[in-house]
Structure 1
Amino acid sequence: MTDHMARIEDLRIRRRDFEIDGVSLDIARGTVVGLVGPNGAGKTTIIRALLGLIVPDSGRIELAGHLAGSTEGLARTGIVLDQPTAAPEWTVGSIGRRLSPFYPGWDQGRFDALLARLSVPTKRTVGELSRGQGVKLSLATALAQSPELLILDEPSSGLDPAARREIGDIIREFMVDPDHAVLFSTHITSDLTDLADELVVVVRGRIAVRGALTDVVDDFAVVRGDGPPPTGGVLGLQRRGDRWTALIRIEETASFGREAVIDAASVDDIIIHLGAEHEEVHA
């Protein structure tokens, strides 16, 4: 058994108007990794490459100790994408019968219990479900496969706060097993506050920040002012008229003087400012 559930080494994907540039990432057992960044930053592309759905130009990807896209790796991975993977004409109640032959670890009792817990109607077809119900169905289907790695790509989209909290509770229960791991991509960063151990910020196809969630948040500050913006020590800058805000390292705060307004940086602050101007930094 390896100590990591997924590993990406120097991933490069080049398209006409987009590039994944030298991304390396480990997802260790026992950890929840939050993958965040502006829309179009490359989060979904990285996940699709990890699942073998995109062939990279270069780099090496391992999933559960096997090469990306391998049957062995996918069999140990539960996947929650932004749309249900089941056929739209299937009824929810028939999914277990249809999918169980393909998953040796399929747990029908767990599937039924999750559908009931998440209030997913079993008599409706997949195509009749709301977006939120479809996400819940995908989560129930993924966990019924008895995975070791759970990959969620924007699972909170279309869900109300109560449903997002329920999904968070289910992920915590999944992580009771120290051999499990989660990769959680989301633009709702508040969902990661009590879940993620590590944070990876992707900007324009590159990893701009990575580290333990608490270290990342504690390592940055936002300085605000008007007039000419600062140049030294600035990792990202936003301007609105004469006003500006800049992302800085916490150790740079003394260099801005008493007149500067300096606040703690949130995860959203980090994403927004690095999305404007960035360089790679490590917490």
Structure 2
Amino acid sequence: MNEKAIELNHVRYETKHFSLEDIHFEVPKGYVTGFIGANGSGKTTTIRMIMDLLQPTSGDIKLFGQPMQTDPVGIKDKIGFVYSELYLNDKWKVKKAEKLIAPFYSQWDHELFMDYLKRFELPYDKKIRELSTGMKMKLSLAIALSHHAELYIFDEPTAGLDPVVRNEILDIIQEELLDEQKSVFFSTHIISDLERIADYIVHLQDGHIIVNASKEELLETHHLVRGDSTDLDDELRQLLIHCVEKDGIYSGMTKDAQTFHELFGQRVTISPMTVEEIMVHYEQHKKGVMNHDNAH
């Protein structure tokens, strides 16, 4: 991967109750990188460090190849940011919000903003508190998309939205950002959202990264294998990521489907997996490993 919009190098963050361990990934330019993890896994903390709102205990973070501190105004000018909640005074009208936000961005585009309001059916003259949750999210998006940013950071933009609005928001993100030069970092706990729009996936669990790969690679290399438990020996068990055995039948995820196929032929069934299934297997596997470690 060539140019990177965001890089995290061996970042650690610790508080009394929570720690992020050796967080290491990058967001390549021109692609959508999905950042997945259950609520409380550390996604928002990571995003706050990227935005320089929290300082890592160690490691370094770069945006467009440089630390935020070197040029905070210039770097933030190039970022379109959407929080899961709208951080605007709800007594303001949309009109006033634009008036106060516009000066922060060198390329604020009033025409474009009005276009988005029209498209999203958002009133320019209404108070923010009169808008529904879905409308507030669309307003956040309209703001983020109206200053010709190069990088978009979305923190759970579809949380709490009904499926119709969620689909609409995903469509917008996909359509608007297909321009090759735009980069997107999209955090969510809803895996099916990523299945649709992500090129790369970073999966955070309990402060550790458990998956960091392209979606294509994940779908190509992971398969579900099922067969007779008596066929399994220790060596084959090692090739299974989270294996469940019931009534003499085992079922597990593997990156070595070919091996099982060569050994057992028709005796095993090998099937493709969705991103969601792959992620769930990794989560279960990690839990199993941690429970095993804690038991010792």
Instruction: Settle same-fold status: TM greater than 0.5.
Output: yes
Q: Does 2:140 match 1:138? A: yes
Question: Structure 1: which amino acid aligns with 2:271?
Answer: D
> Could you tell me how far 1:236 is from its partner in structure 2?
2.7
The structure whose Rg is larger is: 2
Q: CA separation of 1:93/1:237 partners in 2, compared to 1, >3 Å: closer, same or farther? A: farther
Instruction: Give structure 1 stretches of 5+ with no counterpart.
Output: none
Question: Normalised by the size of structure 1, how large is the TM-score?
Answer: 0.86
Offset from partner CA, 1:44-67 (integer Å, 9 cap, x none): 221111111221101111123332
- Cα distance in 1, alignment partners of residues 260 and 165 from structure 2: 39
Question: Structure 2: which amino acid aligns with 1:269?
Answer: E
Question: Structure 1: which amino acid aligns with 2:33?
Answer: V
Q: How does 1:237-248 map to 2 (within 5 A)?
A: 237=243, 245-248=251-254
- Cα distance in 1, alignment partners of residues 249 and 101 from structure 2: 56
Residue of structure 1 in register with 2:104 after alignment = 102
Instruction: Give structure 2 stretches of 5+ with no counterpart.
Output: 290-296
> Could you tell me how far 1:14 is from its partner in structure 2?
1.7
Residue of structure 1 in register with 2:237 after alignment = 231
Question: Structure 1: which amino acid aligns with 2:24?
Answer: S
Q: Once structures 1 and 2 are overlaid, which stretch shifts more, 43-52 or 255-264?
A: 255-264
Residue of structure 1 in register with 2:57 after alignment = 57
> Could you tell me how far 1:37 is from its partner in structure 2?
2.4
Question: Structure 1: which amino acid aligns with 2:60?
Answer: R
Residue of structure 2 in register with 1:264 after alignment = 272
Q: CA separation of 1:153/1:18 partners in 2, compared to 1, >3 Å: closer, same or farther? A: same
Offset from partner CA, 1:140-193 (integer Å, 9 cap, x none): 111112211001111112333433333233323333432221111122223233
Question: Normalised by the size of structure 2, how large is the TM-score?
Answer: 0.82
CA contact (8 A) 1:32 1:184 kept: yes
> Could you tell me how far 1:204 is from its partner in structure 2?
2.0
CA contact (8 A) 1:37 1:271 kept: no
The alignment-based identity, stated in percent, is 31
Over the aligned positions, Cα root-mean-square deviation in angstroms equals 2.8
CA contact (8 A) 1:203 1:274 kept: no
Q: CA separation of 1:139/1:237 partners in 2, compared to 1, >3 Å: closer, same or farther? A: farther
CA contact (8 A) 1:67 1:73 kept: no
Structure with the higher helix share, 1 or 2 = 2
The total of aligned residue pairs comes to 278
